[in-house]
Amino acid sequence: MRTSELDYELPPELIAQTAAEPRESARLLVYDRASGAVRHRTFGELAEELRDDDLLVVNDTRVLPVRVRGRRSTGGRAELLLLEPLPGGRWTALGRPYRKLREGEVVEAGGLRLHIRERLGEGEVVVEPEHAGSFQAALDEAGEMPLPPYITTPLADPQRYQTVYAAHPGSAAAPTAGLHFGPAMWERLEAEGRVARVTLGVGLDTFRPVASEELERHHIHSEPYAVAEPDAEGIAAALRDGRRVVAVGTTSVRVLETVFGERPGRLEGRTELFITPGFQFRATGALITNFHLPRSSLLGLVMAFAGVEQTRELYRTAIQQRYRFYSLGDASLLL
């Protein structure tokens, strides 16, 4: 598939700058793949579109305040976006201005000092934190929530870039399809036993557009995942019994298809699964997802699930109906 096929024109005013309040008031575009029917709902009406025995699978990763703006040893400004912890307390990070960052120098922000240990290329570095006391406390003080660059309005409440069920710290971006669940809605689903959790740390590829001319030639970075045994048993039972598994977000899809797909994998590890049109979904029966950027691997995944031309038509409809796009925007339900 040519990457140019992932292009579309979006009016800038449809890029959501703030999240819907309350969370479940976000709009929901419903697409029935079997009939081709399209319905316009709110996220709070999700239950009316689901079967009574559907199992929702969410990514319960927690976003860390990993954007650190500080000063280099020379006094110049620098920004580091911590991506993933490494053995020994080091982290991979995206660094700016990359061409000026040198191995051995320090970026300092508040009580946090980040030593540049290695330059990896393509804007990526390895840093080693130095701090007094708890690293988490130092990061909470010095860091900011890592909002995507297309969101220019500061968050009034940083928790709005966090799902209500976030549990395991380790992501550089939110699994945004889950942002639409409000506390009461989530508690009700949990009480009914209709949810299972997986964990996938959202990393570098969220920030990197597809640069190759052909989508399949794009190199997708691996990301760590884990599924607790009780959740794995619940998902396996649902699949065995013919119940529909509804993935909440593209990150949940990657875990589902890695662990329960054509070649079942371990309950913990790293996934390099790259889903493009033509992929055979074995575990994912329906998908809740936001509207994604042009030329992104995530849009390619949606096209793989809903169909290339069908996805293009859905995006045209969403634009005509003035849905809000990207991380803080509205959602779609692909049945």
- Euclidean distance between CA atoms 169 and 283, whole angstroms: 26
Q: Where are the alpha helices (DSSP H) in 143-228?
A: 183-191
- What does the H/E/C string look like for 40-100? EEEHHHHHHHCCCCCEEEEECEEECCCEEEEEECCCCEEEEEEEEECHHHCEEEEEECHHH
Per-residue pLDDT, 131: 80
Could you check whether 3-63+156-334 and 67-144 share the same CATH topology? no
Please tell us whether the domain made up of 67-144 is placed in CATH 2.40.10.240: yes
55-59/195-200 β-pairing: parallel
In the numeric block, the tokens 């119940």 are attached to 243
- Euclidean distance between CA atoms 167 and 165, whole angstroms: 6
Q: Which residues of the chain have pLDDT under 70?
A: 132, 204-208
Please tell us whether the domain made up of 3-63+156-334 is placed in CATH 2.60.40.2230: no
- Euclidean distance between CA atoms 198 and 253, whole angstroms: 10
Kindly report, residue by residue over 159-192, the tens digit of the pLDDT. 999 999 999 998 989 999 999 999 999 999 999 9
Give the tokens for residue 325: 């796009």
11: preceding bond cis by omega (within 30 degrees) = no
Kindly report, residue by residue over 88-109, the tens digit of the pLDDT. 999 999 999 999 999 999 999 9
**Where along the chain do its domains lie?**
3-63+156-334, 67-144
